Amino acid sequence: IHVIPVFVSAMAAPPVVIWEREVRQLLSPADLIPRLEDALGKFSRRDAAEVLQPVRTAVPLQKHGGFMGLMPTYMEKDGVLSTKFVCFYKREEGSTLPAVQATVVLLDPEYGNVKAVMDGEVITAMRTAAVSAISAKLLMPPQAEVLAILGTGKQALSHCRVFTEMFSFKELRVWSRTKEGAARFIRSIDGPVQGCSTAEEAVRGADVIVTVTGSTQPVLFGQWVKAGAHVAAVGACRPDWRELDDVLMKEAVVYADSREGAMLESGDVILSGAEVFAELGDVINGTKAAHREKTTVFKSLGMGVEDAVSAQLVFDRWKAQAGKF
């Protein structure tokens, strides 16, 4: 008797490529925010069947002053498996090169095949600003009127768009280390923006302050910050990089997206010795308090789970549009 081996081959379709223009059309802050709130809450419950997401692996690109970050995430119950590759750089004054470049890969968790490869820059810009806006929704003082943004790059623009869409600030101020940066930013924004010549001028009296710079030294000092203000600190994602000084870090109640991420990656947390009071997800889950009455800092490092739910949303919308599957 001859036994003829039979190989069952489950040939997956090749991955779809969804690039910047399409991602931009398919994703909106209003749709993304509830999914991000849900994901942050799930992450903070530390239930491995809900979210498995290690702190990102950062490979130094020494010659180029940057890092490649690998950000894998598995959401077993939701059937989402993804990873983002993100390269981020310390750029010198006057450099026109991008500080961040990213790609998100979405896989089928059952077979391990890649379903989609997506531009990650729109996702990174929008989900980071949306998470900062969630921090402001939870932690900013009631009747906040003045928003100040330090930095005028991609994240500054996305934060400005998401914050002005979500809240009604009476005054918006911006500071850049260069006049050209501030002028470019002001030209790109609809509505009134006050360009400030110093960071101090921008933040004095502000209720909400967003720091989105590529700086590795503090740009925001506690003595300038109004008591009770909320700071969303988005830059300085390496253990020896800073955006905030020790005074602010020690006086404020500090929240983070991921406690482990903050302890391993945030120079503002590590070098100041400040304690992380809670994750944003703990506040969403109701297990930690939102201290709106105090000065608060949300230290954002960025998490794979934020990219995972964003990429899944883009993919679902793309499938619905294409009438596929």
Ligand X SMILES: O=C([O-])C1=[NH+]CCC1
**What is the identity of the amino acid at 90?**
K
Stretch that binds ligand NAI, among 16-24, 27-35, 233-241, 311-319 (CB under 6 A): 233-241
Q: Does 88 help bind ligand NAI (rule: CB under 6 A)?
A: yes
Residue 176 contact among ligand X, ligand NAI, none, beta carbon within 5 to 8 Å by kind: ligand NAI
User: Shortest distance, CB of residue 234 to ligand NAI, whole angstroms?
Assistant: 4
> Using CB under 6 A, which of 302, 305, 310, 313 touches ligand X?
302
Distance CA(49)–CA(51), nearest Å, equals 6
Distance CA(18)–CA(315), nearest Å, equals 8
Q: What is the CA radius of gyration of the chain?
A: 20
Q: Does 135 help bind ligand NAI (rule: CB under 6 A)?
A: no
Distance CA(200)–CA(190), nearest Å, equals 24
> Using CB under 6 A, which of 39, 75, 86, 311 touches ligand X?
86
User: Shortest distance, CB of residue 302 to ligand NAI, whole angstroms?
Assistant: 2
Q: What is the DSSP string of 98-146?
A: -SEEEEEEEE-TTT--EEEEEE-HHHHHHHHHHHHHHHHHHHSPTT--E
Q: Does 219 help bind ligand NAI (rule: CB under 6 A)?
A: yes
> Using CB under 6 A, which of 53, 124, 213, 310 touches ligand X?
124
Q: Does 163 help bind ligand NAI (rule: CB under 6 A)?
A: no
Q: Does 151 help bind ligand X (rule: CB under 6 A)?
A: no
User: Shortest distance, CB of residue 300 to ligand NAI, whole angstroms?
Assistant: 4
Q: Does 212 help bind ligand NAI (rule: CB under 6 A)?
A: yes
| Bridging pattern class, strands 100-107 and 114-119 | antiparallel
Spacing of C-alpha 153 from chain mean position: 14
x/- track of binding to ligand X for residues 215-254 (CB under 6 A): ----------------------x-----------------
The footprint of ligand X on this chain (CB under 6 A) covers a number of residues equal to: 8
Distance CA(200)–CA(140), nearest Å, equals 19
Is the Cβ of residue 129 or residue 148 nearer to ligand X in the bound state?
A: 129
Choose among 290, 291, 270: nearest CA to 282: 290
**What is the identity of the amino acid at 149?**
I
Q: Is the dihedral of CA 285, 287, 290, 296 positive or negative?
A: negative
The footprint of ligand NAI on this chain (CB under 6 A) covers a number of residues equal to: 27
CA dihedral 36→41→43→46, nearest 10 degrees, is -170
- Provide the binding-site residues for ligand X, judged by CB under 6 A: 86, 88, 100, 102, 124, 237, 301-302
